[in-house]
A and B are shown apart, each in its own frame.
Chain A
Amino acid sequence: MSHKIINPSTSVAQHPAPQGYDYTIGPQQTLPDLPQSMGPSSASTFASTGISTTGPSAASAASSTNLASGPSVYSSSLHPLAHTQQVSLAAYAFLFQEMVAQARNASKSVAEIELRLHRHGYHLGVRLLELLNFRSSVNASSRSAFFKTSTAGPSSTSATVSSSAPSAQLHGYHSHGSGDAAGATAAAAAAAAADDGHALAHSISHMKRRDLTMVEILQFVHSTVWTYLFGRPSDDLVKSSDRDNEFMIVDHAPLLTRFISSTNVQCDFFVCGVVEGVLDSACFPCAVTVHSVPDDKFPEKAVFVVRFESAVLEREALRA
């Protein structure tokens, strides 16, 4: 891939039936779903005018048949109730232990193991930033949709129904056994949400604001991310009194270390990775480290120290 040369976009004609975006070709022209009658005949017309549409139109015909068979990520819903909502903690603990074992086998040093766990966490972090903010937008606008019915467009009624349940259910992830009635509404809501792959964005009138300051984004980590991962917000979010760029997220009893025993490797490096992934992709480059600070009440207390790069401080000083 890396050694391919980027051709000008007019060279599409020479390329055999491309599918999807190919950065070596550049943008594909045309709108989709040309009327069937236009298909082959018009394609040849365009070819003769020197602007190449043969590729794309052939491709869209081919791909539409392809797409019919087999699922794709794009046909499933991002709705929190569209998938299995909970698995047993035991299943996760087993998986996590194997992940640690795998990291251990592939590494030569403890530092490398931790790096690998960190990388796994980072993988999650970059995804959670987009996913959780997006879901907050859905919830926020569905609440306002009760008052302003005109904003959401044609699907407003179904959208309101489908997303009103999660606001109540969303934080119930870790409850031990939700009632049958709640389960039934959840299933109905999920079905409504899965109805149309675009149901979610469609029902959003206002996207949640992007977080612009260190404090805002850390609060997102402290509350939204922690609740999503561990069923509760972190126990504290503290600003260092010594250094301007340093913040601490405190967890009195980290879920992973409590259930996943592992000698001489800190499982919390995974969580560091998650936090760093979130902050990094939100353009708050930083380093996150974890320190175990046991005290009498909380023998497993962990403190995640976030140190932002100086550029972040400078940016904030400028915009203030």
Chain B
Amino acid sequence: MPCYFAIIGAKDNPIYEAEFTNPQLNQFPPELKELNPFILHASLDILEDLQWQAHPQSGASTGTSGGFLRSRSSANNSNCYLGKIDHFYGLAITGYLSYGNMKFVMIHSGNTNSGLPVTIEDGPVKSFYQEVHELYIKTLMNPFYKLNEPITSPVFDSKVRTLAKRYLTK
């Protein structure tokens, strides 16, 4: 399923963006592609609200999920992975926060344009976020990287895409 992933910095500036699509089978329709950043930014308010809640995951599932099945096991004490935080028509938006409060956000779209709501498998999505988090920390450890600057490294890009392939495609 096509996804749009972004890391948003402290000043709501994107420091990294990527689309994970399979060009032959499925991709965002052009009209939606342009909207992705806006959809994503619209959900940042919700994310900022969840940021300071003691149990962000349970709050999200009662408030905003539409037909969204959350596996019980993920409703643990952790507050980095926030699960599904928002939705926009058939799209689902998931979020993750790093310790330095970088916002990792992703729009998940269904395989077809049938309009059916997307189901999120928390396990792989969480793994994806955690591994991107590790890559982000490696980026940050580089003394030449400054906080909140765009991550332009081609290695980072290719590693993130490899992770997307491993965890987000079926």
Contact = CB atoms under 8 A, between A and B. Distances in A.
Interface of A: 8-10, 19-23, 26-33, 42, 46, 51, 53, 59-60, 63-64, 66-67, 72-74, 76, 78, 123, 126-127, 129-131, 133-134, 153, 197-198, 200-202, 204, 206-207, 209-210, 212, 281-283, 315, 319
Contacts of B17: 21, 23, 26-27
Given A126-B147, A130-B100, A281-B101, A64 B158 contact: yes
Give the interface size class of chain B. 35 or more
Contact of A130 (B20, B23, B140): B140
A127 B127 CA distance: 22
B156 A209 contact: no
Given A64-B158, A282-B100, A319-B54, A30 B135 contact: no
* Shortest Cβ-Cβ A-B pairs, 3 listed: A32-B161, A20-B154, A27-B17
* Residue of B10, B15, B153 with most partner-chain A CB within 10 A: B153
Contacts of B162: 32-33
A319 B53 CA distance: 7
B80 interface: yes
A28 B18 contact: yes
Contact of B4 (A27, A126, A207): A27
B156 A27 contact: no
Nearest to B16: A21
16 contacts: A26-B37, A27-B18, A33-B161, A51-B27, A59-B154, A67-B155, A72-B153, A74-B159, A129-B100, A134-B133, A197-B159, A207-B81, A282-B99, A282-B100, A283-B101, A319-B54
B146 to A, nearest CB: 9
Nearest to B152: A20
Contacts of B136: 130
B98 interface: yes
B20 to A, nearest CB: 6
B80 A207 contact: yes
Contacts of A133: 99
A24 to B, nearest CB: 9
B141 A73 contact: yes
Contact of A66 (B51, B54, B154): B154
